[in-house]
Amino acid sequence: MTTTLPRRTTATGASAVTWHETGPGMWTSRTGKDIAGAVQLVGTFITTNARGDVVGTFDTLPQAQAALTAPSAHPGRPRSLSRRLLPWSHGR
Protein backbone atom coordinates (compact mmCIF):
# COMPACT_ATOMS: atom_id res chain seq x y z
CA MET A 1 0.00 0.00 0.00
CA THR A 2 1.35 3.45 -0.91
CA THR A 3 0.21 6.77 0.54
CA THR A 4 1.22 10.13 -0.93
CA LEU A 5 1.36 13.10 1.44
CA PRO A 6 1.39 16.76 0.39
CA ARG A 7 4.65 18.21 -0.86
CA ARG A 8 7.26 19.26 1.65
CA THR A 9 9.85 21.96 1.21
CA THR A 10 13.49 20.94 1.47
CA ALA A 11 16.76 22.76 0.96
CA THR A 12 16.76 21.53 -2.63
CA GLY A 13 13.10 22.30 -3.33
CA ALA A 14 9.73 20.65 -2.93
CA SER A 15 9.21 16.95 -3.31
CA ALA A 16 6.35 14.56 -2.59
CA VAL A 17 6.69 12.13 0.29
CA THR A 18 5.39 8.64 -0.46
CA TRP A 19 4.82 5.98 2.18
CA HIS A 20 5.12 2.23 1.64
CA GLU A 21 4.04 -0.47 4.07
CA THR A 22 7.13 -2.66 4.00
CA GLY A 23 6.05 -5.24 6.55
CA PRO A 24 3.74 -5.79 9.50
CA GLY A 25 3.88 -2.61 11.59
CA MET A 26 6.57 -1.02 9.39
CA TRP A 27 6.27 1.91 6.95
CA THR A 28 9.08 3.63 5.05
CA SER A 29 8.95 6.97 3.27
CA ARG A 30 10.69 8.29 0.20
CA THR A 31 11.17 11.65 -1.45
CA GLY A 32 12.00 10.80 -5.02
CA LYS A 33 14.78 8.21 -4.82
CA ASP A 34 15.86 9.15 -1.28
CA ILE A 35 14.65 7.54 1.93
CA ALA A 36 13.06 10.19 4.16
CA GLY A 37 12.44 8.06 7.24
CA ALA A 38 10.35 5.31 8.73
CA VAL A 39 7.58 4.55 11.18
CA GLN A 40 7.46 1.39 13.25
CA LEU A 41 4.56 0.21 15.41
CA VAL A 42 5.88 -1.16 18.70
CA GLY A 43 2.99 -0.50 21.06
CA THR A 44 3.22 3.12 19.88
CA PHE A 45 4.26 4.59 16.54
CA ILE A 46 7.98 5.48 16.51
CA THR A 47 9.15 7.85 13.77
CA THR A 48 12.78 7.91 12.67
CA ASN A 49 14.43 10.16 10.11
CA ALA A 50 16.70 9.05 7.26
CA ARG A 51 19.70 8.86 9.65
CA GLY A 52 17.81 6.62 12.08
CA ASP A 53 17.39 9.35 14.71
CA VAL A 54 14.13 9.10 16.65
CA VAL A 55 11.90 12.05 15.71
CA GLY A 56 9.21 11.15 18.26
CA THR A 57 6.60 8.67 19.36
CA PHE A 58 2.95 9.09 18.42
CA ASP A 59 -0.48 7.65 19.12
CA THR A 60 -1.57 7.32 15.47
CA LEU A 61 0.05 6.47 12.15
CA PRO A 62 -0.98 9.77 10.47
CA GLN A 63 0.63 11.77 13.32
CA ALA A 64 3.82 9.71 13.04
CA GLN A 65 3.99 10.11 9.26
CA ALA A 66 3.27 13.84 9.42
CA ALA A 67 6.21 14.34 11.80
CA LEU A 68 8.59 13.87 8.87
CA THR A 69 6.85 16.46 6.70
CA ALA A 70 6.59 19.23 9.33
CA PRO A 71 8.36 18.23 12.56
CA SER A 72 7.63 21.47 14.43
CA ALA A 73 3.90 21.29 13.74
CA HIS A 74 3.30 17.82 15.18
CA PRO A 75 3.80 17.37 18.91
CA GLY A 76 5.13 13.91 19.57
CA ARG A 77 7.12 12.81 22.52
CA PRO A 78 10.62 13.56 21.21
CA ARG A 79 13.58 11.64 22.49
CA SER A 80 17.21 12.62 22.74
CA LEU A 81 19.02 12.50 19.41
CA SER A 82 21.83 10.67 21.17
CA ARG A 83 19.49 7.66 21.29
CA ARG A 84 19.28 6.12 17.84
CA LEU A 85 16.79 3.48 16.86
CA LEU A 86 16.91 1.76 13.53
CA PRO A 87 13.43 0.55 12.64
CA TRP A 88 14.63 -2.95 11.81
CA SER A 89 16.79 -3.34 14.94
CA HIS A 90 14.02 -3.28 17.58
CA GLY A 91 13.98 -6.33 19.79
CA ARG A 92 17.57 -7.41 19.21
How far is Cα 11 from Cα 81, in angstroms, rounded to an integer? 21
Upper half-sphere CA count for residue 25 (Cβ side, 13 Å):
10
Beta strands, E only, 24-76: 26-31, 34-41, 45-49, 54-58
- Interval 44-87: pLDDT, tens: 999 999 999 999 999 999 999 999 876 444 455 554 444 555 55
Please report which residue ranges of 1-92 form alpha helices under DSSP H.
61-69
pTM of the entire structure?
Answer: 0.62
Bridge partners, residue 39, by sequence:
27, 47
Domain ranges of the chain: 2-73
How far is Cα 87 from Cα 70, in angstroms, rounded to an integer? 20
